[in-house]
Amino acid sequence: MDARIKSAHDDGKFHQRPKGPRPRVFWRDLHAVTGFWVAGLALVMLLTGLPWAGVWGSAFAAARAEFGLVAGPQNWKVGAQAVHADHDHAAMVHVHTAGQNFAPLSLWVSEAEARNLAFPVLVLPPGAPQAFGPPTGKVWTIKSEAQNRPLMETLTFDPATGAELSHERFADKHPIDRLVNYGIAWHEGQLFGLANQLVGVATALMLITLAVSGFVMWRRRKPARLLGAPPLAPTPARLRGAAAIALALSALLPLMALSLAVMLALERLVLARIPATARWLGLRPAGLATNG
């Protein structure tokens, strides 16, 4: 297509059309397209991180126990104790040696190696403490603590005869526990290897792009000497939609709800009563010039 256009107001001469997108349109489209693609990925990252969040995770653990949604101890930590990748990868088999009068360790290490469990593998003698749940009891325990949690397995053996007493696989867990563990493995980038990690990196880069493009658009369009916060949506449907999203996120994130309440109280009770601050925030008309 010819890059020249004929002006309707001159003598028929042609003028060169500006090449490339206007900067404001470029940043707007970059922000919109990035936001569209990252929204679902960011939501998944948020939801899969909730079970080990301090407030939400503790409440979920209490509800899980109260309603009997339990087939064993919860095998993930919450709050400040949450651990994403705390396994010792220096060796495939870790041997816990607490206790007395055990069968030869080599027997159980050989058994663990023969089972070909997912790395890393713990070999625990009778009475050994565990990170989750009570001590092992009067059995030898061999367990995989793979970060790809669907590969986890736990076996117990009679210390006298060596007979297998139990074999718990991922499929034996409660459906809610399976769902949470799938989410943890996704969140840690371990569910399907390198591709999972690349998706996580892409999510982080898109969130950074969203923040940078939003800042650039704000700086280009904000009025002079004003914060330039966007006005309320003119249509009631949009206001109701924004309110519904805020309420849903507040229900999932109690600390977010508390933060919103504090910000609203601060705005209404303090900031709106200081004339200069209120004008800068756009809480009252200013009538000042803009940056253009």
Most trustworthy range by pLDDT among 13-17, 64-68, 283-287: 64-68
Determine contact, residues 203/45, Cβ cutoff 8 Å: yes
Q: Is the dihedral of CA 181, 184, 189, 190 positive or negative?
A: negative
pTM of this prediction? 0.72
Domain ranges of the chain: 21-71+173-222, 84-172, 235-292
Q: How many CA atoms lie within 13 A of 269 on its CB side?
A: 6
- Average pLDDT, integer, range 190-204: 95
pLDDT at 91 over 70: no
pLDDT at 78 over 80: no
Q: How many CB atoms lie under 10 A from the CB of residue 203?
A: 17
Predicted confidence band of residue 283 (pLDDT cuts 50, 70, 90): confident
The CA distance from 76 to 177, in Å, is: 10
Predicted confidence at residue 151, as pLDDT, reads 95
Residue 54, both tokens = 């301090």
Q: Which of 34-43, 63-72, 103-112, 225-234 has the lowest mean pLDDT?
A: 63-72
Nearest to 89 by CA among 113, 111, 119, 132: 119
The CA distance from 16 to 241, in Å, is: 44
Helices (H), the chain: 23-49, 54-66, 105-115, 175-187, 193-221, 236-252, 254-269, 275-281
Predicted confidence at residue 143, as pLDDT, reads 94
pLDDT at 187 over 90: yes
Enumerate long-range contacts of 103-108, CB under 8 Å, 24 or more apart.
103/140, 103/159, 103/162, 107/162, 108/140, 108/142, 108/157
Q: Percentage of the chain with pLDDT > 70?
A: 80
Predicted confidence at residue 60, as pLDDT, reads 84
Q: How many CB atoms lie under 10 A from the CB of residue 113?
A: 14
